[in-house]
Amino acid sequence: MTHTKDTKSNKHRFIRRLKIIEGQVRGLQEMLNNNAYCIDVITQTSAVKQALSNVEDLLMENHLGTCIVHQIQEGQTKKATKEILKVYQLKRK
């Protein structure tokens, strides 16, 4: 996030979302400690996975709109392409 104009704003948004996810994970631990119904636990784990995926999507959007654009403007197209492909491959796993 080094090339954003509103880096602090984005950083706070990402941290806020991660804190919410942290709370969800703690809730999962509590559910297991309280012998919650398995389907309810699975439903919550799915929600956590979706929330993490949303954070990844926002990070990628931010990266493409800032860092990658900056790299291309600086003539670093090979580096930009390599990074895009790396993230794409990670998202496919």
pTM > 0.75: yes or no: yes
Please give the domain boundaries of the chain with CATH numbers for all domains. 7-92 (1.20.58.1000)
- Consecutive 10-residue averages of pLDDT for the chain (93 residues): 62 94 98 97 97 92 91 94 89 77
Q: Looking at residue 5, what is its pLDDT?
A: 52
**pLDDT for res 88:** 84
In degrees and rounded to multiples of 5, residue 90 shows phi and psi of -65, -40
Which tokens belong to 35? 């012998």
